[in-house]
Amino acid sequence: MVATKTRLVCLIFAGHSGVDPGTNAGGYTEAEFTYALALDLFRAIERHQPHIEPVLLTTAGHTGPTSRLGVQKKHCKTHRFLEMAASTDNIQRIDQKLDGLRVIKALYRQTHRADCVLIELHADARKGPDGLHVLYGAQQGEALAKGIAGANSKVIFRDDLRLLRLSPVPAVIIEAFNMASPKALKLFLRKSQRVTFAKQVAHRLCDFATH
Ligand SMILES: [Zn+2]
């Protein structure tokens, strides 16, 4: 798929934003968790997967009181942080993301001769209580979704999700857990649980990139 020498660029999108905080549970917003998970994934890739370059993408206004979840931006050593414009209109917001992705894809092809993949993080898996769900919406995202999911996660095809359907790079949405499940929420409030999740995703991404 991708030659070993080629660095794969993993674009990590923290789902939701300031204007669209997502699900609420236990006094936390989903946007807080997506930010925390995105940073944990960024760091797991940066520390353990030298052939993959992580790039964190967020929407303007998506700062969230992440200190409550024990996260600070400055912890990332080589932090590439691209902020995209916020919008209150969902389709407009996704179109802005898609435009941004086209630019980023072209940029990394030129500067690194590398391919990009996109992982967007969420925490409101609707079906099933706790498990990891990996969603894809176009054929080019299927191998990535299956690679990241591993044996005990669900892979779900969703052609109604604009971002996944139209993404210029292989793209998946990872529903890391379901905030509405008190048990899962309690678990993911623990930093160690998020780091375990992040390391697992980073490891599977590496397998995907090198096979
Ligand atoms: Zn969500």
In the chain, pLDDT over 90 holds for what percent of residues? 48
Interval between CA 34 and ligand 1 midpoint (Å):
8
Interval between CA 146 and ligand 1 midpoint (Å):
20
Distance CA 148, CA 143 (A): 9
Dihedral sign (CA 8, 125, 176, 130)? negative
pLDDT of residue 2: 47
pLDDT in tens, the chain (211 residues): 444 455 899 999 988 877 788 899 999 999 899 989 998 999 999 899 988 989 888 776 665 546 676 665 554 544 455 666 666 777 888 888 898 899 889 988 998 899 999 999 999 887 655 568 999 999 999 999 999 997 778 999 999 999 999 999 999 999 999 999 999 999 999 999 999 999 999 999 999 988 7
Of the candidates 185, 163, 1, 140, the residue with the CA atom closest to the CA atom of residue 90:
163
pLDDT of residue 64: 55
Distance CA 184, CA 191 (A): 13
- Sole residue written with tokens 């939701």: 16
Interval between CA 41 and ligand 1 midpoint (Å):
17
pLDDT of residue 72: 54
Instruction: Look up residue 84 and give its two tokens.
Output: 């995209």
Interval between CA 124 and ligand 1 midpoint (Å):
5
Residue type for 95, please?
D
Q: Which residues of 162-192 are buried (b: 16+ CB within 10 A; e: fewer)?
A: bbbbebbbbbbbbbbbbbbbeebbebbbeee
Interval between CA 116 and ligand 1 midpoint (Å):
22
Distance CA 129, CA 127 (A): 7
pLDDT of residue 130: 58
Q: Specify whether the CB–CB gap between 164 and 144 falls below 8 A.
A: no
Interval between CA 115 and ligand 1 midpoint (Å):
26
CATH fold for domain 8-210: Aminopeptidase (3.40.630)
The pTM is what?
0.89
pLDDT of residue 91: 85
77 SS3 class:
coil
Q: Specify whether the CB–CB gap between 157 and 184 falls below 8 A.
A: no
